[in-house]
């Protein structure tokens, strides 16, 4: 049998051509194994909108008049990833717990859902205020879980409070099962999230911490630098009052914001965007569009009565 000089039997060596084939096969397997988002499974990416947004779900309203400026699948109920942390932060802020109380990161805060990493090692001690800052600004998962775990009554009570608060706000399509957003069972609609952003904007702590550009924390002998997950907060062209980003495979790239555009206070919600930077690009598209349209002349519409359609639920 003829044998290439670069090849031995039993697979000890392979030719350059075989190596290329193997490499390409690996790439194909990786592409196939990627988890589709719930929005993709529900066929929400098949439609086209006037602004050519890459987010399959979008909702933009004027905060003062509650006029709907843009809507796209705003009733679809989808995973919301770390947008969850906005409700987590709201409950912690409203509870008026001591912000200087030291909380220790425990094994219970380690992500067993997605296996995500964290620079907050087990045993790290930080104040509740520091954990809240990192959860809202840098989307730190262990920080968010520790906040819920250390709530009076523990994590089950905290998650119950998250759902009760959502119900009180009229967020009928929203469900939480944990405080970080790592679980795809944390779900909501863009319309509900606009309600949450509108209410959360009234909390000065949430406004300040969510829009902080960066923050350093001392952990033992180390000093850790954290930066905001939303690059728009340091863009001088934007005036952002509140924001939160989110991402897990099932949710796609997500972003909620309160921002002033063309003299108008807007609430923007983008869910299930494809590509790392597309949620930011979608926000920029909306901003340019709003800047190009005349000031509103329509009568204010109460948020609770803007839509009466039944929600699309992606299971």
What DSSP string runs through 87-147? HHHHHHHHHT--TT-EEE--GGGS--SS----SS-TT-EEEHHHHHHHHHHS--HHHHHHH
Q: Which of 3-7, 44-48, 208-212, 241-245 has the lowest mean pLDDT?
A: 3-7
Does the active-site annotation cover 210? no
Contact 212, 133 (CB under 8 A): yes
Does the active-site annotation cover 139? yes
153 Cβ neighbours under 8 A, 6+ residues apart: none
- What is residue 281's predicted lDDT score, i.e. its pLDDT? 95
Distance CA 187, CA 81 (A): 8
The pTM for the full model equals: 0.84
Distance CA 182, CA 219 (A): 24
**What number is the average pLDDT over the span 306-315?**
40
**Residue 75 resides in a domain:** yes
The enclosing domain of 165 has a CATH number of 3.40.710.10
Please choose, from the candidates 162, 177, 163, 183, the residue with its C-alpha nearest in 3D space to the C-alpha of residue 111: 183
**Residue 5 resides in a domain:** no
- Which of helix, strand or coil describes residue 148? helix
Q: Which two structure tokens, joined as six digits, stand for 78?
A: 């989808």
Active-site residue, selected from the candidate residues 72, 85, 244, 287: 85
- What is residue 46's predicted lDDT score, i.e. its pLDDT? 84
**Residue 72 resides in a domain:** yes
The per-residue b/e assignment along 50-77, b for 16 or more CB within 10 angstroms, e otherwise, is ebebbbbbbbbbbbebbbbbbbbbbbbb
Distance CA 91, CA 97 (A): 10
The torsion angles phi and psi of 110, rounded to 5 degrees, stand at -75, 135
- What is residue 296's predicted lDDT score, i.e. its pLDDT? 59
Distance CA 268, CA 193 (A): 9
Sign of the Cα torsion 40, 41, 46, 48 reads negative
Distance CA 52, CA 285 (A): 9
**Residue 210 resides in a domain:** yes
pLDDT of 31 higher than 80: no
Distance CA 264, CA 267 (A): 10
- What is residue 5's predicted lDDT score, i.e. its pLDDT? 37
**Residue 262 resides in a domain:** yes
pLDDT in tens, 105-154: 999 999 998 999 999 999 999 999 999 999 999 999 999 999 999 999 99
Active-site residue, selected from the candidate residues 37, 55, 56, 82: 82
Angle in degrees, 0-180, between the axes of helices 84-95 and 190-200, rounded to the nearest 10: 30
- What is residue 13's predicted lDDT score, i.e. its pLDDT? 40
**What number is the average pLDDT over the span 291-301?**
66
pLDDT in tens, 258-290: 999 999 999 999 999 998 889 999 999 999 999
- What is residue 2's predicted lDDT score, i.e. its pLDDT? 39
**Residue 31 resides in a domain:** no
The range of the structural domain enclosing residue 145 comes to 39-305
- What is residue 179's predicted lDDT score, i.e. its pLDDT? 98
- What is residue 24's predicted lDDT score, i.e. its pLDDT? 44
Q: Which of 7-11, 67-71, 142-146, 201-205 has the lowest mean pLDDT?
A: 7-11
Please choose, from the candidates 103, 184, 193, 200, the residue with its C-alpha nearest in 3D space to the C-alpha of residue 148: 103
**Residue 165 resides in a domain:** yes
- What is residue 47's predicted lDDT score, i.e. its pLDDT? 78
10 Å CB burial of residue 144 (0-12, 13-18, 19+) is: buried
pLDDT in tens, 146-198: 999 999 999 999 999 999 999 999 999 999 999 999 999 999 999 999 999 99
Does the active-site annotation cover 212? no
pLDDT in tens, 32-91: 347 899 999 999 998 789 999 999 999 999 999 999 999 999 999 999 999 999 999 999
Contact 82, 181 (CB under 8 A): yes
**Residue 293 resides in a domain:** yes
- How many of the other CB atoms lie within 10 Å of CB of 137? 26
Q: Which two structure tokens, joined as six digits, stand for 302?
A: 């109460």
The torsion angles phi and psi of 264, rounded to 5 degrees, stand at -115, 140
Count of domains observed in the chain: 1
pLDDT of 218 higher than 50: yes
Active-site residue, selected from the candidate residues 56, 139, 183, 273: 139
- What is residue 34's predicted lDDT score, i.e. its pLDDT? 75
DSSP strand pairing (78-79 vs 187-188):
antiparallel
Q: What is the mean pLDDT of the chain?
A: 87
């Amino acid at each position: 049998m003829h044998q290439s000089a670069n090849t031995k039997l039993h697979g000890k060596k392979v030719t350059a051509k075989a190596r290329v084939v193997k490499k390409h096969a690996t790439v194909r397997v990786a592409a196939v194994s990627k988890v589709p988002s719930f929005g993709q499974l529900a066929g929400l990416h098949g439609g086209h909108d006037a602004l050519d947004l890459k987010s399959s779900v979008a909702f933009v309203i004027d905060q003062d008049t509650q006029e709907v400026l843009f809507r796209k699948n705003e009733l679809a109920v989808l995973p919301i990833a770390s947008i969850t942390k906005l409700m987590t932060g709201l409950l912690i802020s409203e509870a008026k717990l001591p912000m200087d109380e030291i909380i220790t990161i425990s094994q219970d805060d380690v992500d067993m859902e997605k296996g995500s990493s964290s620079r907050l090692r087990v045993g790290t001690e930080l104040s509740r205020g520091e954990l809240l800052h990192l959860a809202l600004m840098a989307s730190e998962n262990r920080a968010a879980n520790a906040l819920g775990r250390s709530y009076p009554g523990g994590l089950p009570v905290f998650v119950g409070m998250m759902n009760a608060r959502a119900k009180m706000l009229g967020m009928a399509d929203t469900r939480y099962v944990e405080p970080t957003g790592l679980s795809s069972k944390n779900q909501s609609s863009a319309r509900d999230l606009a309600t949450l952003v509108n209410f959360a904007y009234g909390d000065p702590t949430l406004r300040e911490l969510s829009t902080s550009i960066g923050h350093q924390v001392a952990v033992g002998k180390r000093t850790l630098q954290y930066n905001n997950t939303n690059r728009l907060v340091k863009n001088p062209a934007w005036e952002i009052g509140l924001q939160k980003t989110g991402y897990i495979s099932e949710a796609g790239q997500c972003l909620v914001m309160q921002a002033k555009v063309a003299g108008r206070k807007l609430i923007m919600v983008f869910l299930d965007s494809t590509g790392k930077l597309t949620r930011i690009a979608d926000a920029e598209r909306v901003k340019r569009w709003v800047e190009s349209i005349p000031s509103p002349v329509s009568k204010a519409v109460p948020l609770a009565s803007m839509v009466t359609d039944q929600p699309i639920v992606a299971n």
